[in-house]
Chains A and B, each alone.
Chain A
């Protein structure tokens, strides 16, 4: 599982630029499922045909990042965020463009108070001598992801893009281990979640499933002086009750809870007071789709050091299979 997560998290896939991660996932699943297609927005849809219930399973492929907006005469690059990027978390990080160009993220020296740090006062230094040299490597509109290698320590994985490559890993594993079932299952790896649940919306419209289950990460309340939240790393996959974008359908919630009990794995409930996720778009698409989610507890969301528990991920795979089979 760790090796799979490493391959997925290290693939490039900033929102709207999911080409590489999509290829990585296709390579992981192409021997296990026949019907694979890519839709207009770039969602990857793998279908297991059947005559039973139509179930959509979704995890988003995209990750947060930055976009080059201006290159100055000296070759420094100004940038804006793609998805939720904190100026403070970005400071002193490395970013990597699609072509491999790496840059250091820093801020204007004359900034007197750190509280005023904004992305517009920051820049990327790719070590270019001047604008001309910089433009050979980076063009306005090019995107970069944060650099954060994938390491394992005990049960924990620390990496960039655990959000939501851990969810992608859960679905890849579920495809590989899926037992015989009558259900028609759409395994969807969505695009542009971080920009506002966009891929999930168009995917749900075209699939018109009977129910949908998303697999995504959620925040935790188990770190020093954390905001109050019941979810903790290592406590098992969380069954989403609500976030800012969705109140999960009671039947889906029940299905997930019963499935967790059937296979006797630890689980917890998630009430997320901020943030949205793909079910937010899916549940109001195509005339309405009962939706829910399995959430993987993850610390330090939207940073290059997102941290999560391998055991929670493993249990999420089991829970997903039990629920959809």
Chain B
């Protein structure tokens, strides 16, 4: 299912090349036409037996990360975040800098040197730096350029009862599921869209949806999972291990109710674990796709991920499999129906 390979590739928003090349290479022969558009979206077209329906699957290739913004005299790198990252988790994390993937660590002033008020406050991003082991500015500048991308360094690890720890599960899980879905044949025309720049404002999907102009779209995502200590049950967004999560509404979209219910019922009929995402926070590509052109029937299904947007995102393989199976079940079922759904 390529999850290890996909999550260990770097593809911070705007720099998805590595991920795109990998996917392209591995879906060769599975699609009738593979295109890369001007923004970098990878669009794989799979011709169906009939023309009555055009379905778009969408998953974003990009992940949150950082960008080099400057250099300190001692050779350290100043950086900015790309996408939403909680800066409080950063000190002590491992990163890979630039195309050469130079290893680095995120450092900050050590605790024994901090003033009392500094100790009591969170370290601010502008006080952090990346140390790549050089001790002169000139030395660093030979290895790293302004604007270079920086990604978390976090190998894929399986642990616990079928759990996975990795970076970029959001949304390489979706990419992996789309790659799997392309192995099957369908009644209708299918576009599997691997989009760019979701984490900086759903940008790639807006362009992809305009190009594809689908009748129906299904967004496959990694979403938040807040079933952890300190959170009230009433505020859980999803629960790990309880199946793929269907979005009822979030900040960016109110998916088509009939389509969402159809997916929910189909999953239940097929005994595939499924849950509704309880909170209405966050957003994803569905927001742009649903409002593309004259409007698109859209839904969004996700693999719950704890500690999302961090180097240690955690998911359950059970949820991943149920998400993959539901997506394929939906595509199979859509093909057998007279009405769209």
Q: Which residue of A lies closest to B278 (CB)?
A: A69
* Min distance, Cβ A146 to any Cβ of chain B, angstroms: 18
Q: Does A201 contact B (CB under 8 A)?
A: yes
| B254 interface neighbour in A16, A72, A202, Cβ under 8 Å | A16
A15 and B291 CA atoms in complex are apart in Å by 15
* Min distance, Cβ A57 to any Cβ of chain B, angstroms: 18
* Min distance, Cβ A171 to any Cβ of chain B, angstroms: 20
Q: For the complex, would chain A's binding face be called helix, strand, loop or mixed by DSSP majority?
A: mixed
Q: Does A275 contact B (CB under 8 A)?
A: no
Interface size on B, residues (CB 8 A): 20
The interface stretch among B15-23, B182-190, B294-302 is B294-302
| A40 interface neighbour in B278, B279, B294, Cβ under 8 Å | B294
Chain B residues whose C-beta falls within 8 Å of the C-beta of A72 in the assembled complex = 233-234
Chain A residues whose C-beta falls within 8 Å of the C-beta of B233 in the assembled complex = 70, 72
Chain A residues whose C-beta falls within 8 Å of the C-beta of B249 in the assembled complex = 16, 67, 82, 141
Pick from A192, A202, A206 the residue with the most CB of B within 10 Å.
Answer: A202
* Min distance, Cβ B300 to any Cβ of chain A, angstroms: 13
A41 and B293 CA atoms in complex are apart in Å by 11
Q: Does B129 contact A (CB under 8 A)?
A: no
Interface residues of B in 273-309 (CB under 8 A from A): 276, 278-280, 290-297
Q: Does A262 contact B (CB under 8 A)?
A: no
B291–A201 CB distance below 8 A = yes
Q: Quick one: CB contact mask for A181-207 with B, threshold 8 Å, 1 for yes?
A: 000000000001001001101100110
B235–A41 CB distance below 8 A = no
Q: Quick one: CB contact mask for A136-150 with B, threshold 8 Å, 1 for yes?
A: 000011000000000
Q: Which residue of B lies closest to A195 (CB)?
A: B254
* Min distance, Cβ B319 to any Cβ of chain A, angstroms: 18
Q: Quick one: CB contact mask for A234-272 with B, threshold 8 Å, 1 for yes?
A: 000000000000000000000000000000000000000
Q: Does A99 contact B (CB under 8 A)?
A: no
* Min distance, Cβ B103 to any Cβ of chain A, angstroms: 41
Pick from A41, A80, A81 the residue with the most CB of B within 10 Å.
Answer: A41
Q: Does B132 contact A (CB under 8 A)?
A: no
| A141 interface neighbour in B248, B290, B292, B296, Cβ under 8 Å | B248
* Min distance, Cβ A88 to any Cβ of chain B, angstroms: 20
Chain A residues whose C-beta falls within 8 Å of the C-beta of B119 in the assembled complex = none
* Min distance, Cβ B54 to any Cβ of chain A, angstroms: 13
B291–A67 CB distance below 8 A = no
| B290 interface neighbour in A41, A43, A206, Cβ under 8 Å | A41
Q: Which residue of B lies closest to A16 (CB)?
A: B254
Q: Does A210 contact B (CB under 8 A)?
A: no
* Min distance, Cβ B167 to any Cβ of chain A, angstroms: 29
Q: Does A120 contact B (CB under 8 A)?
A: yes
A44 and B223 CA atoms in complex are apart in Å by 33
B295–A41 CB distance below 8 A = yes
Q: Which residue of B lies closest to A82 (CB)?
A: B249
Chain A residues whose C-beta falls within 8 Å of the C-beta of B295 in the assembled complex = 39-41, 43, 199, 202, 206
* Min distance, Cβ B303 to any Cβ of chain A, angstroms: 19
Q: Does B124 contact A (CB under 8 A)?
A: no
A70–B278 CB distance below 8 A = yes
A69–B290 CB distance below 8 A = no
* Min distance, Cβ A140 to any Cβ of chain B, angstroms: 5
A141 and B276 contact, Cβ closer than 8 Å, known pairs A16-B249, A72-B234, A202-B291: yes
Q: Does A165 contact B (CB under 8 A)?
A: no
A206 and B295 CA atoms in complex are apart in Å by 9
Chain B residues whose C-beta falls within 8 Å of the C-beta of A15 in the assembled complex = 254
Q: List 16 A-B contacts (CB under 8 A).
A: A15-B254, A16-B254, A41-B291, A67-B249, A69-B278, A70-B234, A70-B235, A72-B233, A80-B279, A81-B280, A141-B276, A192-B254, A195-B254, A202-B292, A202-B294, A206-B293
Binding site for A on B (CB under 8 A): 233-236, 248-249, 254, 257, 276, 278-280, 290-297
Binding site for B on A (CB under 8 A): 15-17, 39-41, 43, 67, 69-70, 72, 78, 80-82, 120, 140-141, 192, 195, 198-199, 201-202, 205-206
10 nearest interchain CB pairs? A202-B295, A40-B295, A16-B254, A141-B248, A206-B294, A70-B234, A41-B295, A78-B234, A80-B280, A69-B278
User: With contacts A82-B249, A192-B254, A202-B292 known, what are 11 further pairs, Cβ within 8 A?
Assistant: A15-B254, A39-B294, A39-B295, A41-B291, A41-B295, A67-B248, A67-B280, A69-B280, A78-B235, A140-B248, A198-B254
